[in-house]
């Protein structure tokens, strides 16, 4: 049923929880996992100093490498085949396009559960992925403590 599963991560607790779910599903179906991290360039468009963007970009890429390393370690511990990739752009758009390009059967991702004005104004990455993805999307909430 599932052969290719895309797991977007940002390194947060909820994205690691989602990765655990995705990796567990991959193990059950003998599927491959594609863990991706998207360097979100949208908040920094139009910054006056080019050097500022380069510094921010490097920090975000470093964060991305750490996030991908966590997911890769989990997959390897479970004996699941994993590929990692870092992308740049608007997260929801990049996730959907990557999943289509890889012909993914499932996207598994976390949500921070935005509420109120922030959600009305910005929406959420998960919502945009759900609306635009060609395949099913499993959204994992942060477990209550």
Q: Which residues of 34-49 are buried (b: 16+ CB within 10 A; e: fewer)?
A: bbbbbbbbeeeeeeee
Q: What is the mean pLDDT of residues 1-7?
A: 97
Q: Between vectors from CA 11 to CA 14 and to CA 96, what angle results, nearest 5°? A: 80
Between CA 3 and CA 103 the distance in angstroms is 9
Could you tell me the two tokens for 81?
A: 């085949």
Q: In the chain, how many domains are there?
A: 1
Residue 30 — pLDDT band, cuts 50, 70, 90?
very high
Query: Over the stretch 63-122, which tens digit does the pLDDT of each residue have?
Result: 999 999 999 999 999 999 999 999 999 899 999 999 999 999 999 999 865 555 555 555
Q: Which percentage of the chain shows pLDDT scores above 70?
A: 82
Whether 123 shows a pLDDT value over 80: the answer reads: no
pTM summary value: 0.87
Q: What is the pLDDT of residue 38?
A: 94
- CATH code, 53: 3.40.50.620
Q: What is the mean pLDDT of residues 13-40?
A: 96
Helical residues (DSSP H) of the chain, grouped into ranges: 13-29, 50-77, 91-101, 116-122, 125-132
Q: In sequence order, what are the residues at sequence separation of 6 or more whose Cβ sits closer than 8 angstroms to the Cβ of residue 112?
A: 12, 14, 124, 142
Q: What is the mean pLDDT of residues 120-126?
A: 67
Which domain does 31 fall in, by range?
A: 4-141
């Amino acid at each position: 049923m599932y052969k290719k599963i895309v797991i977007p991560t940002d390194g947060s607790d909820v994205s690691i929880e989602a990765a655990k779910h995705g990796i567990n599903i991959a193990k059950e179906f003998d599927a491959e996992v594609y863990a991706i991290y998207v360097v979100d360039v949208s908040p920094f468009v139009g910054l006056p100093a080019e050097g500022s963007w380069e510094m921010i970009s490097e920090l975000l890429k470093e964060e991305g490498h750490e996030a991908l390393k966590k997911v890769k370690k989990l997959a390897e511990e479970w004996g699941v085949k994993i590929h990692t990739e870092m992308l740049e752009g608007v997260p929801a758009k990049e996730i959907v396009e990557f999943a289509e390009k890889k012909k993914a059967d499932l996207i598994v991702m976390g949500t921070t559960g935005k509420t109120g004005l922030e959600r009305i104004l910005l929406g959420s990455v998960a919502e945009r992925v759900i609306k635009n993805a060609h395949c099913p999307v499993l959204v994992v909430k942060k477990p209550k403590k």
